[in-house]
Amino acid sequence: MTGTDSSSSAGTAPEAGSDGAVSGTAGSNGVANLSPEASRGHLTSRITSADAIPIGDADPGADHGYHGELAAILIGEEELRAKIGVLARAVAADHDLDTPPLLICVLKGAVMFVTDFARALPIPSELEFMAVTSYGSATSSSGVVRILKDLDRDITGRRVVIVEDIIDSGLTLSWLLKNLATRGPASVDVVALLRKPEAIKVDVDVRYVGFDIPTDFVVGYGLDYGERYRDLPFVGLLGEHMYR
C-alpha cells in the first residue's frame, strides 16, 4: 500500500535510489546532503483512509493473537522500513561524525521506531529515554504534562533529536520541546514517524515527518490501545467494535 506524497504539488521530487532514499550530493560526513525541500516536505508521504487495506480472510493480526480485532492495514512493514531509511538519511545529512545526534526516545510508543531508526542511521548516535504523561482522557491530551522518567545525563551543548512515534494534538510535544530547551542543548529537532495534521492543536516545528495520516484510530508498531497491539509490525486501524 502506497500513499500519496504530500509534496507532489510543490514541484519535481528529488531522485530516489533503489532503496527509496532521496539522493543528493555527498557531504563531508559521507552522507548525502539534502536540500531544505528534500529534508522536509519531500520526506513526508500523505496517507488517507482510502489507502487502508481492509482485513480479509487472511488476518495478519491473528499471527500476533489479535484475531478479528483490526479493521485494516494502513502502513505495511516494507513501507515502514523504507520510510525509516529515508528519515535516517535525512537526519544524518544534518549531522557529522564528530557531533553524533543524541536520540531521545519518548516512551513507550516510540521504542519500536527508535530501535529501527538508530540501526538505519549511517552515522553513530547515542540513546536516551524519557517518559511523560499528559492529563486528559485515554485518547486525547490536555497538554498538562508530568515527567515519569527523566533523562539520565546532561544535554548541555548536545544536538538532540526527539524521536516520536506519532504527533496527535502536539500539546505534549510542545511542552517537551520547551522543557528540553531550558537544559542548554545546542539544538533540538524532532523526527516523527506519524503525524495527524487534522488533530493538531498547537503549532510545533517538526523537522522530519514520515507519514501524515488521517484521524482514524491507529495501532501497531509501538502504538497501543490499553497497552495492546504495540507488538504488531505494521500500522493498522483498530476495529470500532474494540473501543466503542
CATH number of 156's domain? 3.40.50.2020
Q: Contact at 8 Å (CB) between 177 and 130?
A: no
Other CB atoms within 10 Å distance of the CB of residue 57: 4
Q: Cell digits for 206?
A: 517538526
Range of the domain at 133: 4-24+31-242
Give the mean model confidence (pLDDT) for residues 218-232: 97
Write down the pLDDT at residue 14.
32
What is the DSSP-derived secondary structure letter of residue 168?
A: S
Q: How many domains does the chain contain in total?
A: 1
Active site residues: 168
Write down the pLDDT at residue 24.
40
Write down the pLDDT at residue 141.
57
| CA proximity to 232, closest of 51, 56, 77, 42 | 77
Reported as a single tens digit per residue, the pLDDT across 109-143 is 999 999 999 999 999 999 999 999 886 555 555 56
pLDDT score of 83 more than 70: yes
- Tell me the pLDDT of the chain averaged across its residues: 85
Q: 187 has which bridge partners?
A: 159
| CA proximity to 211, closest of 17, 64, 47 | 47
